[in-house]
Chains A and B, each alone.
Chain A
Amino acid sequence: MIRKREVKNVSEEILNVSNISISFLQYTRGLRQNLLKVITDLTLNISSGEVIAVLGSSGSGKSLLAHAILGILPKNAQLSGEIKYKGEILDQKRKEELRGKEIALIPQSVNFLDPLMKVSDQVIGEVEDEEDKKRKKAHQREVFEKYGLSEEVDDLYPFQLSGGMARKVLVSTALLTNPKLVIADEPTPGLDDKAIEETLSHIRKMADDGVGVLLITHDINAALKVADKVAIFYSGYVIEIANVGDFSGDGERLKHPYTHALYNALPQNGFKLYKGHQPLHGEIPVGCVFNSRCPHPTESCVMVNPDLMEIGGTYVRCNKYQQSNLYG
């Protein structure tokens, strides 16, 4: 467990994502078209100094959330819902102004670096003139130094970076512009334990310094080590946003049956696996999306898709809680 320091600054709400849906217009055989809904209703909030983990299986579309916030969704994507940054609504124009400056991305791998450009040249971004370039390079050197990257790294090409170095380059690049919001997209795959620890501690430190961090991952243990809150992503929906502390004991404080099952499936908790699989993008059912695998479905679960409800600081999307609230 990576210790959290006391948050020094007053916490402010950095990001509000409300009811985001992302669909794609796709061509299948013979030029037929298909509207594919990947994210149906995603809601979460991030405050400064907080690490919110979005936990979902690989390929479930979580990265799209990152792209939506940064305004880099592909052309055939349709986005609906609202994203607010520090209280103001983000339209495409504002996203373009903020990205790379106040909102930064830590991408998944070194494939996200230009293979034909030296590391330093590309991470400093666009420069206006020689003066600007010198300044940016000096600053970049400082930040890289802090992360233990020596001067030689500046002149390397991406393919020459070792796995650990690459990680550090990607993390420090995100921090070059002193962002307020950092989105870490799957930072842990392919790394050994030591590298994972290191990366996670960097993320924690960022948060402690006042940055709001959105951690997108499928690695539960990583999320539990470093996040303050965990948002569980299932078939395009956020079904629970729990405090990280609730992931303890038998998981009795976890509200959604899926979250419960997830927790119990961890190797350290007995590896109790669950039957079935998440509905794929084309097969989303009417009603609650977890209904077919739920151990305690109610009658309304077949037809009614519950909304995400707040219960005492956490959120859950489950008919069971809707009803109990209804009856007081």
Chain B
Amino acid sequence: MENEKLVGFAGKKALKLISLLVFVSLFSFWLVEQSPIDPVRAYVGEMAISPEHKAQLEEYWGVNVPPQEKYFNWAVNILQGNFGTSLIYKRPVIDVILERFSVSLVLMATSWLISGILGFILGVIAGMKRGTLMDKIIKTYCYILAATPTFWLALLLLMVFSVYLGWFPIGLSVPIGATADNVTIFDWLYRLILPAVTLSLLGVAQIAMFTRKKLIEVLSSDYVLFAKARGEKGLDLVLRHGVRNIALPAITLQFLGFSELFGGAILVEQIFSYPGIGQATVQAGLSSDVPLLLGIVLFSAIFVFTGNLIADIIYEFVDPRIRQQEAAQ
């Protein structure tokens, strides 16, 4: 019974992923093709160039190839694992993406964890102490944070900590002049802190408010009422009945936030000059580096899909209440 369900689930999801990738790639490809931006002009800028040079560049950027052919070539290549070569980095797209993504992954994972844990704790405190000053403070903090432009907060932190206090470097993941081997883990962590703090601060708001709302719901439930009638109270009550009942929904929410996380990373990396996939996206977009851009689009789709998939798995297989409903059938 369980196995049947598992196989059905996996099958549906795989199909969904494939159809998603196909449509996303078609749509993105079409969009980029529509672009009136002349990639050669964007690349060359205001410089004057000879017609031969121009023809060369045009060939390089694939300007004269008809779109269907381009897409077909590209798709065939993708299926063979060849994502093409990045026009601005002059390296295979797949290498660029993997390298940059691992750098971003550290940033995103750190912020994701911190905002998740901190947000959960704040949400529990606010829910427990509903109506008190503490609750109001947390609510206000989250409310304002949710309205804060990511890039502005990043700029502020940059100004305060890097420019004014000089605690952190203004940019780059490794110090200039130092080779990759010379860079210690501390150097790296150092440059990770500000972008991670920015993303964490912003991520806290959503999960805190959700946790708070769910905890309030749980605390007004019948079973908590009965627990109170039996003499349970205070933090013990919340820990025994509250946390358990909201932990899963909260974790699920975190996994559904992969999309926002990626978006936030794009902005934050740009400001802190953190060489991750976000920065690469901006560069690729500004320079019409089609192979790289499309590669990133596909990759981000897979990334978001993974987050949603994990959330679904938690919902379908881990939450005992769902199993409860099925047992009742």
Contact = CB atoms under 8 A, between A and B. Distances in A.
A101 interface: yes
A157 interface: yes
Given A114-B241, A116-B244, A116-B320, A159 B229 contact: no
B129 interface: no
Residue of A104, A105, A125, A126 contacting most chain B CB atoms (<10 Å): A126
Contact of A125 (B222, B232, B320): B232
Contact of A160 (B227, B228, B327): B327
A256 B19 CA distance: 74
A100 interface: yes
B186 interface: no
A105 B226 CA distance: 8
Contacts of B240: 114, 117, 122, 126
B222 A112 contact: yes
Given A159-B327, A160-B327, A114 B227 contact: yes
A117 B230 contact: no
Residue of B224, B230, B244, B327 contacting most chain A CB atoms (<10 Å): B230
A211 interface: no
Interface in A58-77: 67, 70, 72, 74
Contacts of B14: none
A100 B220 CA distance: 18
A113 interface: yes
Contact of B223 (A104, A115, A160): A115
Interface residues on B, range: 20 to 34
A115 B224 CA distance: 11
B232 A100 contact: yes
B231 A96 contact: yes
Contacts of A112: 222-223, 225-226
Interface residues of A, number: 26
B328 A105 contact: no
A117 B232 CA distance: 15
B150 interface: no
Contacts of A115: 223, 245, 320-321, 324
A160 B321 CA distance: 12
A59 to B, nearest CB: 16
A133 interface: no
Contacts of A70: 228-229
A126 B324 CA distance: 25
B328 A159 contact: yes
A157 B230 contact: no
A260 interface: no
A96 B233 contact: yes
A38 B115 CA distance: 45
List 9 A-B pairs, minimum CB-CB distance, nearest first: A100-B231, A100-B230, A112-B226, A105-B229, A114-B223, A159-B324, A112-B222, A70-B229, A111-B222
Interface of A: 67, 70, 72, 74, 96, 99-101, 104-105, 107, 111-117, 122-123, 125-126, 157, 159-160, 173
17 contacts: A74-B220, A96-B231, A99-B228, A99-B230, A100-B232, A104-B230, A105-B226, A105-B229, A107-B226, A107-B229, A112-B226, A114-B227, A115-B223, A115-B245, A117-B240, A125-B230, A160-B327
